[in-house]
A and B are shown apart, each in its own frame.
Chain A
Amino acid sequence: MSRGRSWNLVLIAGLLFFAALVGLPFWWVISGSFKIPQEIIARIPTLFPQSFTLEHYQKLLSSSDYGTYLVNSLVVSSLSAFITLLLAIPAGYAFFRLEFKGRETYYRIILLAYAFPSIVVLIPLFGMFAKAGLVDTRLALIIVNVAFALPFAIWMLRSFFASIPKEIEEAARLDGGPPLTVLWRIMIPLTAPGIAAVAIFAFVTSWTEYVFASVMILSDARRTIPVGFSGIIGQYQVDWGLLLAGASLAILPVVIVFAFIGRWFVTGLTEGAVK
């Protein structure tokens, strides 16, 4: 596709705008985390660090259980993603392919789940979890996160299944395969990129969740990164250096993960199924 020169200029300007919009805040945070305290709160801030120190990281790592938070976050997010897929794949397939009474109604009800102010379910859920002995467990967080990711996951999967050419699926069905086999052998492999995207969506939803994790988890050993991070904010003093170091370390894991799988998320979303 060829473009005119003025179009190219518009494109470059747009790109620069978005690069600054997304990139600059992160640059400031990460570069700030290496500045000495006096430079961080200086009246005239510096775009490029004039000083270099690792003291904030040393302080952070020596005094908080960052490793524990990280493991908790990874466990909770991976399992949330896994269980979301476990529930969403059959449901998404059924809503797309299988005919049953009230299919459209149920499908809409599922999307209506987002009509709940999530704050509403906080107290009743806390009561339920207390009765079931789940307060202060990572399982409680997994349940909550799956509940929030599931409706959207089903909706996305249904549209991915829909993008598979009908002929492929019908050929499989004519071969006499039962729906479960068709799903497992044909549909899942064909929609693998889409499924990966859904898994990443569920993972991120869980990774970023704060409100429920902050109330449901009581002990330090089971905190996730967002809650552990809010812990270093402190009440009476703000140590910006420590905060910036904490922010950088909270960003780092997902950035590493995305460096490997980020591509799939985009292709998964855009293509959904293998063409």
Chain B
Amino acid sequence: MKIALRTLLATAMLTVPATAFADAVEITLWHMEQPPHRVDRIQMLIDEFNAANPDIVVSQEPQNWGEIYAKAPAALAAGTGPDMLFAIPDFAPILKEMGALTSVEDFVAELDAEHDFVDSTIEAYSYDDGVWAVPLYNMTLNLWYRKSVLEEAGLDVPTSWDEWRAAAEALTTDGRFGMGLPANRQLYTDQTIYSVMVNGGASEIYSEDGSLRFDNEDTVAAYDFYNSMMEFSPPDATSWTWGEAEACFASASCGMIMQFTVISTYENQAEGDASDLGVAAIPTRDGSGDNATIAYANAVLLLSQEEAEREASQEFIRFLLQPENYGRFLNMEPGLFMPVTADGATADSFWSDPVVQEYRDQIETVIENGQNGKLFGFTSGRVFPAIASISAQNVLAETLQSVVVSDMDPADAVEAGQARMEDLSR
């Protein structure tokens, strides 16, 4: 027994990881794509890369969005952080403020010349005289529905807010909710309320000079409309994250939902009939057809300060963006991650995936809708550091909760929301 304990103790003390190759450069990738099949796909690409580049050893450590806000800064401050981190635009300013980022402008220019990035994806990381990350994959919110369900109710796909509300009302029947909309103080709700805002003329929360302009009539109108839709959403929507919305749609308890994609859930946990799955742009306030949506240009942040590690990281990113690899990378979750490069959008490796082939119509629609993607706080070509706190504290969603949960008047709530943003900018 004693010997066993001593062995255990020795095992626990083994803190030094075994080095694979004595002179190879070892780099670590952190990302928040934790579901097992995504991790597998990334590992497959890493293995190929490592085999082709014997002098570099890449390894991945999947992390969780819930913890990363505490963990990444702490680990970087302690010198134990990763060399690469996949993240969203909101996250970059946090690390930039602590001096962990170096501009990758030249590297992005090199890749842009070769693959031609979608401009808005670079813009989300371009500010303060630098480009702070390399765009990797895009995500946009869309309106998902079942064609048969709309038909049965004699409805067309809604294009204006009035039609949208009428459709939600008509689809709300015994045991079904017309429109599953979250009202949680969480990122998903930030995304859905902002997607409504951008379609009601309230895409900017900052003026050019950096002053907040969140508190305006258009924002209030968007909150007012969103609140009026909540009566057609399940009662527990105030605690929803992405998963609950998808489950609601998959079980046909929700007539429509706003989501990045529902394809893999629909395929694996629901009927999986590709011809019945509908996707449309998020309706605009007046039905003008000039639809916009929220777009998350996910990117990779280069975090190592050492030249050799940076070089190795860049080599890995070059590898990922090669059209023959890039499609397989994006298809770690078919229908969720959209290409950010021109040659990626036409790549065989992207379109040849069986699920992508089956849902080709839907994915083409998603890509098309993404052309007019925006992200709050990143729309004006300048980024104000407080956006990181505003996003991390989910102020947009918090404001919505004031309306939906606390029955506050939308105008008062939006005013309070702006005050909160100002407080966070302190």
Interface residues of A (CB under 8 A from B): 37-38, 41-43, 59-60, 62-64, 75-76, 78-79, 82, 122-123, 126-127, 129-130, 133-139, 142, 214-215, 218-220, 230-242
**20 A-B pairs, CB-CB below 8 angstroms?**
A37-B268, A41-B269, A59-B36, A60-B36, A123-B74, A126-B78, A127-B78, A129-B78, A130-B79, A130-B80, A136-B15, A215-B74, A218-B61, A219-B17, A230-B66, A233-B34, A234-B35, A236-B260, A238-B246, A238-B247
- Find out whether the CB atom of A236 lies under 8 angstroms from the CB atom of B64: no
User: A63 near B34 (CB under 8 angstroms)?
Assistant: no
Residues of B close to A237: CB separation below 8 A: 35, 242-243, 246, 264-265, 333
CA distance A239 to B9 in the complex (A): 37
B120-145 CB contacts (< 8 Å) to partner A: none
Answer whether residue B195 sits at the interface, using C-beta atoms and an 8 A cutoff.
no
Contacts of B5 in A (CB 8 A): 78-79, 82
CB pair A232 B13 closer than 8 Å: no
Residue among A127, A215, A233, A237 with the highest chain B CB neighbour number at 10 A: A237
Q: How far is the CA of A218 from the CA of B30 in the complex (A)?
A: 9
The 9 closest A-B pairs by CB, nearest first: A238-B243, A63-B36, A130-B78, A37-B269, A41-B251, A137-B15, A234-B35, A236-B242, A138-B12
**Given known contacts A41-B250, A122-B70, A126-B74, what 4 new A-B pairs fall within 8 Å (CB)?**
A78-B5, A130-B80, A215-B67, A232-B36
> A214–B64 contact, CB under 8 A?
yes
B253's contact among A43, A75, A134, A233, by CB below 8 Å, is which? A43
Give residues in B with beta carbon < 8 Å to A. Answer: 5, 8-9, 11-13, 15, 17, 32-37, 39-40, 61-62, 64-67, 70-71, 74-75, 77-80, 175, 241-244, 246-247, 250-253, 260, 264-265, 268-270, 333, 336
- Complex CA distance for A114 and B82, rounded to whole angstroms: 34
Contact of A133 with B34 at beta-carbon distance under 8 Å, contacts A63-B40, A127-B78, A231-B62 already known: no
Q: How far is the CA of A130 from the CA of B78 in the complex (A)?
A: 5
Between A41, A43, A123, A236, the greatest number of chain B beta carbons within 10 A of the residue's beta carbon is seen for: A236
Q: How far is the CA of A79 from the CA of B12 in the complex (A)?
A: 9
Q: Which residues of A contact B61 (CB under 8 A)?
A: 218-220
Docked-complex contact A234 and B12, CB < 8 angstroms: no
Residue among A82, A127, A233, A234 facing the most chain B CB atoms (10 A cut-off)? A234
Asked whether B75 lies within 8 Å of A63 as measured between CB atoms, the reply is no
* Residues in A neighbouring B33, C-beta threshold 8 A: 235
Interface of B is mostly: helix
- A87 CA to B67 CA, complexed, in Å: 32
- Contact status of A234 and B75, CB under 8 A, knowing A79-B9, A134-B15, A136-B80: no
Q: Which of A59, A214, A241, A242 has the most CB of B within 10 A?
A: A214
Residue of B nearest to A140 (CB): B15
The chain A residue with its CB closest to the CB of B33 is A235
Minimum distance in angstroms from A209 CB to a CB of chain B: 14
Closest CB of chain A to B246's CB: distance in Å?
6
Task: Give the residues in chain B near A136, CB-CB below 8 Å.
Answer: 15, 80
Task: Name A72's closest neighbour in chain B (CB-CB).
Answer: B12
Which residues of B lie under 8 Å from residue A123 when comparing CB positions?
Answer: 74
Min CB gap A20→B, angstroms: 23
Contact check, B80 vs A218: say whether CB atoms are below 8 A apart: yes
Contacts of B71 in A (CB 8 A): 214-215, 218
Complex Cα–Cα for A215 and B425 (A): 27
Residues of A within 8 A of B175 (CB): 43
Contact of A133 among B15, B62, B253 (CB under 8 A): B15
**Whole-angstrom CA separation of A238 from B244 in the bound complex:** 7
Residues of B within 8 A of A235 (CB): 32-34, 64-65, 241-242
- Report the bound CA distance from A8 to B209 in whole Å: 76
Q: In the complex, which residues of chain B have a beta carbon less than 8 angstroms from the beta carbon of A76?
A: 12
